[in-house]
Structure 1
Amino acid sequence: MLKKLEHPNLCAYLDIIRGKHERTIVVSEYHRKTLKQMKNLNVGQAIGIAKSVLDALSYLNSHRIVHRCLNPENIHIDYDGNIKLLNYGLYYMTGGGADVSFPIGSPKYPAPEVFLMSNSTLKVGQSGPKVDIWSLGMILVDILLGCCLWSELKLGQCLRKVLSLLHCDGSVFERLAREADKMDIYQGLDDVVKDFVNLCLTKNPRNRPTALQLIDHPLFLENYEKFNLNRDDASEDSFQCWRKNRLSERSLAELYCMWRLAGGDVPGEMKKQGLIRNKAPILSLPNLVLLEGTSFGQCRDQSMLLDLRLVALPMSSLVQRLNHLPVTAFYPLIEVKSDIIGGNEQSDAASLPLVIRERDTEYQFRRIVLYDSLLKGYPYKRPAVLKEAHKDIPPFFRGRLWSALLDVRGEIESKYISVDKETPTDTDRQIEVDIPRCHQYNELLSSCEGHHKFKRVLKTWVVSHPQYVYWQGLDSLCAPFLFLNFNEEARAYACLSAFVPKYLHNFFLKDNSAVIREYLAKFSHLIAFHDPVLANHLHDINFVPELFAIPWFLTMFSHVFPLHKIFHLWDKLLLGDASFPLYVGLAILQQLRDTLLPSGFNECILLFSDLPEVDIEKCVNTSIDLYCNTPRSITYRSHELPSKHRPPDFDANLEMSPLSVAQLHNEFSPRISGADLLQLLNSKATRPKLLIIDVRDHDLYKEEAIMCSINIPLGFIDFETEDYDSAIPSCPELSVLCNFKGKIIILAGDDPVETAKFCRLLVRRNFSHVCCLHNSIDALKGKGIIGPVLI
């Protein structure tokens, strides 16, 4: 939530790190000048401060955030004189102060009602936004009177002073001026200024105006001044040097990401400054513990207390690391019409493994700068995003890029808000059971807020898709999107809504048995097509995909792999079509092939109950190779989401048509469409990529057949023998068939049942890439490839 906030008068939050012993370190934007350091400010500057602070408070209030820590030390000033509030999220991140043992706020500036709250009644969000208005009033009193009130008082005395203001009969501002002996300054102020400060210091919080109301005060109708910082020569030189560096043009979030890649370590910097000190555990033990539990002699652990000291993270190492980059790395061309100009200069790391590229500072900087430009042009630049995503996706932009790959656009926020997430439904109980078991090793997803977001996104999907039901596994599908868009639930929901129909169309129907059975049948066909040895072994031991692959495909592997592997896998999966997950499943089996082949049924069950380590980069690369070398019709499914775009030369007779689940299970090898066969024949490859076997009777073959095909009639084959090597009589055609082993072998005939038997025989003989032609060869007439055979 806090990292999502963006406002010109707020110091942006960059990271919140939870370290050892629940120590929390907050990383945010930082400026060296604070309001506390500024002296002799005039009324115009005070008005400018008030306006900037009110703008920031109004923005925070719109997000239901109360500062509660507003004081001159938390009002920073950048080099351009802009006001920036710091530590505005402290009260929010501590649950309204209820999660910590220390108070939130300084003694002098909080409103009196803050001290009147009883600890026993303290609740999250109990302090309303109007407490910050009082703090602003007290800050303005210091500025306008030119002094620091109660600077010499002790803590108890300061608290009594604040509470005593509740008994003030007249103007609080006037009383404070009288106590500080500044009545001459007070009387010299314009009435509109006094009125504004008195409104801020209204004793009753019910009558105290809000930030939004005060913005319309007549005080701001007049001109007010910005700060003109009197910087010393050293800071001026440092500032100008940084402004000249091209890195200063990048966002703080990008710089922080690069800083960490360049070796930056926040806890390490804290240790260097002495803010984190290790203490031997024995020193934390008490000297004496009574039987009833009272302890004596135990030093109070200072790490449990609030420490608001600031440490500036040095940028020198990052600047030095990227200083040699050319101008083109900072301003890449994203649209060129010349191949010469368009040849982007590549980093040396471009050819390295993905894991190394993700840790390379220079390479990631180039990718982040490029993607930043492309995303600013989305959806117009979506084709360019797709092109670059085929190379890799930087972790910094993964959430936004996934939504671009899924073509998420439009008013997703309003659509998400409009869905009822509060009304109880029948699926609530199952969702509540599943969430605590889903990727709970991750700190974000295992947090209370993570569980709340999980439930909201899942309920929104269920409510907005009444045609589907909640199946176990949907939570695993949601997890990667929620993690990457933790502060943008609407985008997480939109990505999930776009992902399911593309890759899991109809998987979440109430009766999804036909969909899943068809999917698993095509998976079996794909195994037989690419790896007949493994397919034969799994078939012989009766180890069918229903026993291990349903969780794979129902969750797109997010149930079986940790998030860091899912990210790399889905980076490529989102670039493919609905069939790509089948190739991922096959790639996993091929990694486990050496273990599976000598294993029996029971050993395979044990193997998949605790899946061994899988090299995800190798798996992805293998999947892509398999996908690129497989005709598209091999993985055709009738339950796949229909494509919106048909080729201009579309011919229904040449395309696949739905088959029943029973037919798919009876056929061991896949079918190929006539369109894919024509495409293979038209290939410009120097060596033939396929062999076509016409299995019809010899007389029919002589009348007309596909050119370059061979004829092995079904009548010649002995399907009853158990000696598969002798099932096909020796003939010249058999020699040709053996020479084409490893190529695509397409069987064409009139009887699909008998043709499927021939396919099964070839697979039994460990022929790979075996398939049969869907429909008869009659569909290919008129395509210029059928004619009489001269023998």
Structure 2
Amino acid sequence: MRPLRDAQLGAFTFFASALPHDVCGSNGLPLTPNSIKILGRFQLLKTISHPRLCQYVDISRGKHERLVVVTEHYESSLNDFQKQRVLQIAYEALEGLEFMNKHGMVHRALNAQNVLMDGKGKVKLAKFGLYYMTDHGADVDFPIGYPSYLAPEVIAQGSVHPSDPSQGENPLPSGPKTDVWSLGVLLFELCAGRRLLQNIEISERLKFIITLGCIDDIVTVLAEEHGCLDAIRVSLKSITKKRFHSVLPSRPTPAELLVDPVFEGVSCLYAPFQQPVGLFSSSLRCAHLELPEDISQLCKDDDEEYLGERAIDEVYHLWCLAGGDLEKELTNKEIIQSKPPVCTLPKLKDVAGEAYYPLLEDEQSSLSQSNSSNELSCTVTLPLIIRERDTEYQLIRIILFDRLLKAYPYKKNLVWKEARVDIPPLIRGLAWAALLGVEGDIQAKYDSIDKDTPIPTDRQIEVDIPRCHQYDELLSSPQGHRKFRRVLKAWVVSHPDLVYWQGLDSLCAPFLWLNFNNEALAYACMSAFIPKYLYNFFLKDNSHVIQEYLTVFSQMIAFHDPELSNHLNEIGFIPDLYAIPWFLTMFTHVFPLHKIFHLWDTLLLGNSSFPFCIGVAILQQLRDRLLANGFNECILLFSDLPEIDIERCVRESINLFCWTPKSATYRQHAQPPKAQGDSSTNGFGKAANYYSSDYQDMPKTDLSREPLALSDLKAEVSPRISAEDLIDLCELSVGGQTKRSKASKPKILAVDIRSIEDFGRGHISGSISIPYSTAFSPDGELVQCPATGTLQSFRGRVIVVISHAMKSAFATHLVKVNYPRVTTLDGGINKMKPTGLLTVPSPQI
């Protein structure tokens, strides 16, 4: 959006027409309220940006079908014009009308108060989207337009309501030539003097217009002002019936007028409008991101309005955070004023000027820490919900992310770094796209997909959409449903090897909500998200993928919370009964959108194993109730999931993630390794080094985990870890490589269960020996609990059980006695022998 500069934020309100409460649609569901329809259509208006149009900013829905629209506003209007500028005013207005027409829109509400003037005296057309957002007036009970300026063909249609079937054939929507008539009347009034005409008797006015040869076009408009419209219309129809019922009147369109010779001396004063290059396109884009060595030189003028250079939607967002209330403002103005500026916009005067020019690298800073910077450091430590409502904090974060995204993908790593702190809600959609690695001309790719030809999946999509997050006003609107269909169908058509499963609509919802006016970006984000977190989940036969996923999840529960795992297994409450919707929709079927946004802000920073940690964190919030109940009670509990503290869930998920060895969640049906050179990074805090990439992406070696048959995987309670993971976690040096910092990894204990003799021939440095024979008899019966002795002092560490072959009984018993973080070494000690890292004790003298 354009910068605010000398503009104000204005608001106007109107009511949508109410629908009967006892009427349902053809699908058996209640009719969508007209206010919801208008809200959905309005979203497109936010993308219409032109120097001659007042920018639409937001819309809110109140009680009794009330809608409040926020828009760019100026105090001056056409009433304040200078007569010598008539041609320039006409040209500028036509520029705005032509741009609207290119987007399939007609103003239909032109009058002197809706042609505003900015600080430089340039035309700004206001309320240009009212006719479009109300479906050509179908969703409101009042006419769109001002009778004195309506074209004769519009007046001839009368007051037929477009959606009223009892009125017969619906009238055609107004076209571009309608606005030309309205503009012509405005200009005529300006030139002739409106006050002069108003003082002339009606009979004299009619004679005056007759002398202009315009009786059939103008007389109706003038007659309306004196209460004789109906009588004049009847007589006029009999004289000029053909003219009134002409579908396309013989006047020119705005585009045709702009090239008229009358504007030859004016058009040269205006440069052609060029649409700014978007973030994801095939066009080259640039932004001036360099800052002087001494940034304080940019902030010398204390009176400079830095906030005025920010986008209008940013300023409005900050106003809302500062406590702005649209309806309250209009109430204070005694609803409704012709010029309703929002007067309580926070000045943000205390924000230091350097905040508007964030540095991307700390070492470049030559400034001392300002009070504002110190306060920002304190704000970062506050809960996320408070940070998201802090006006100054959000201003600084928005500016920083805006700068980083302008340098995307060059500054991709810094986007990751800042996203670990938090993501400003205002630009979450673009930030997610950057985290998912979306690049290139996404619009061209989306446009090339056939979204119109019927396919077998259409019916299922039609059934699912009206049930998907329909509590949300935006997604429940007809526009939302149409966009849902297009994005989902685009994904299905462009992935012929996959199929539509129920739940895909829920998965699409966050991306569509964040990118409502950019279907291509919603599709691109969804297409990048699914391979990373849900690879092959949407195969026609996905049972082997789902079963492996659930088995690994079951092992994760045992790894992090063995007591809960033992209880759930005893009562038969397995993940198959509750977790499939969790993972198939990445929790979008479980949580409302506002919780999903916070959850996915963190999910997108983790690798493909992070969803397991989220699942365990959810179970741990329900832990007490699960441990106290049996199978039937647990089923009932999950049929109506209790309220989950999403911030606590995120914190605990990160902690669980950092305690999970990365190879413990290996799945052979996960996404294959990416091409070398993908520099995307992720991780959380100190664990960023260890978890800098997904285990699935690491090149496979002789020390990597081997694929395991599903039956064998299900037989093991504890997860396995690879030999390379063990080497890394034990800080063993391989080939002279530098060791990683211990602070970035979970603490580990290697437990060697081979015989004393085998242990003496070679073992991993730092491991302890607990021979299997001392704990279990030859037939596998437990002789002595291994957890009651040496292991007790190491409780809480990640325990890796090492043997010749895979003897899972030892690890299984540790889990049974509620020992957490138990794993086994994939391939046993044999995997370690070729490395030369086994230690042989020195002989005793």
TM-score w.r.t. length of structure 2:
0.78
Structure 1's 72 and 429: CA in aligned 2 closer, same or farther, altered over 3 A?
Answer: same
2:499 alignment partner in structure 1:
469
Structure 1's 572 and 161: CA in aligned 2 closer, same or farther, altered over 3 A?
Answer: farther
| Per-residue deviation, 1:781 | 3.2
Residue identity opposite 2:549 in structure 1: Y
1:766 alignment partner in structure 2:
818
**Matched-pair contact (CA < 8 Å) for 2:550–2:575:** yes
1:739 alignment partner in structure 2:
793
Confirm or deny that 1:437 pairs with 2:494.
Answer: no
2:357 alignment partner in structure 1:
331
Question: Which of the numbers 53, 62, 67 marks the counterpart of 1:19?
Answer: 62
1:289 alignment partner in structure 2:
none
Distance 1:28 1:649 in 2: 51
Structure 1's 486 and 785: CA in aligned 2 closer, same or farther, altered over 3 A?
Answer: same
Distance 1:125 1:519 in 2: 56
**Matched-pair contact (CA < 8 Å) for 1:141–1:173:** no
**Matched-pair contact (CA < 8 Å) for 2:613–2:656:** yes
Q: Secondary structure at the match of 1:653?
A: coil
| Per-residue deviation, 1:419 | 1.6
Alpha-carbon displacement from aligned partner over 1:592-616 (angstroms, at most 9, x marks no partner):
1111112111111111111111110
Question: Which of the numbers 48, 55, 67 marks the counterpart of 2:95?
Answer: 55
| Per-residue deviation, 1:764 | 0.8
**Matched-pair contact (CA < 8 Å) for 1:47–1:224:** no
Confirm or deny that 1:261 pairs with 2:318.
Answer: no
Structure showing greater relative contact order (alpha-carbon pairs closer than 8 Å, 6 or more residues apart): 2
Residue identity opposite 2:747 in structure 1: K
2:406 alignment partner in structure 1:
376
Q: Secondary structure at the match of 1:696?
A: coil
Within a 5 Å distance, the mapping from 1:226-245 to structure 2 comes to 244-245=304-305
Within a 5 Å distance, the mapping from 1:277-426 to structure 2 comes to 309-315=338-344, 318-319=346-347, 322-338=348-364, 345=374, 347=376, 348-426=378-456
2:178 alignment partner in structure 1:
131
Alpha-carbon displacement from aligned partner over 1:172-202 (angstroms, at most 9, x marks no partner):
89999xx9xxxxxxxxxxxxxxxxxxxxx99
Residue identity opposite 2:179 in structure 1: D
Confirm or deny that 1:779 pairs with 2:831.
Answer: yes
Distance 2:422 2:406 in 1: 18
2:79 alignment partner in structure 1:
36
2:728 alignment partner in structure 1:
679
1:294 alignment partner in structure 2:
none
Q: Which has the higher mean CA deviation after the structures are superposed, 79-88 or 218-227?
A: 218-227
**Matched-pair contact (CA < 8 Å) for 1:81–1:226:** no
Alpha-carbon displacement from aligned partner over 1:30-82 (angstroms, at most 9, x marks no partner):
000000233x511xx12211221121111111111110011221110011122
Distance 1:330 1:655 in 2: 49
Distance 1:695 1:722 in 2: 14
Distance 2:75 2:639 in 1: 56
| Per-residue deviation, 1:116 | 1.8
| Per-residue deviation, 1:483 | 1.1
| Per-residue deviation, 1:96 | 0.3
Q: Secondary structure at the match of 1:388?
A: helix
Q: Secondary structure at the match of 1:76?
A: strand
Question: Which of the numbers 634, 640, 655 marks the counterpart of 1:625?
Answer: 655
Structure 1's 123 and 479: CA in aligned 2 closer, same or farther, altered over 3 A?
Answer: farther
Structure 1's 204 and 20: CA in aligned 2 closer, same or farther, altered over 3 A?
Answer: closer
Distance 1:720 1:701 in 2: 19
Identity of aligned residues (%): 49
Distance 1:206 1:661 in 2: 73
**Matched-pair contact (CA < 8 Å) for 2:661–2:746:** no
2:251 alignment partner in structure 1:
208
Structure 2: where are the runs of 5+ without partners? Answer: 1-43, 161-166, 223-243, 271-300, 677-692, 732-739
Confirm or deny that 1:587 pairs with 2:629.
Answer: no
Distance 1:735 1:124 in 2: 88
Residue identity opposite 2:795 in structure 1: K
**Matched-pair contact (CA < 8 Å) for 2:536–2:545:** yes
Distance 2:354 2:779 in 1: 69
2:16 alignment partner in structure 1:
none
Question: Which of the numbers 517, 523, 535 marks the counterpart of 1:505?
Answer: 535
Distance 2:756 2:365 in 1: 55
Q: Secondary structure at the match of 1:26?
A: strand
Residue identity opposite 1:756 in structure 2: S
Structure 1: where are the runs of 5+ without partners? Answer: 180-200, 228-240, 276-306
Task: Give the total of aligned pairs.
Answer: 708
2:37 alignment partner in structure 1:
none
Confirm or deny that 1:460 pairs with 2:485.
Answer: no
Confirm or deny that 1:514 pairs with 2:540.
Answer: no
Distance 1:557 1:161 in 2: 69
1:113 alignment partner in structure 2:
153
Distance 1:64 1:688 in 2: 59
**Matched-pair contact (CA < 8 Å) for 1:716–1:728:** no
Distance 1:784 1:172 in 2: 103
**Matched-pair contact (CA < 8 Å) for 1:756–1:772:** yes
Distance 1:547 1:554 in 2: 13
**Matched-pair contact (CA < 8 Å) for 1:97–1:124:** no
Distance 1:338 1:695 in 2: 55
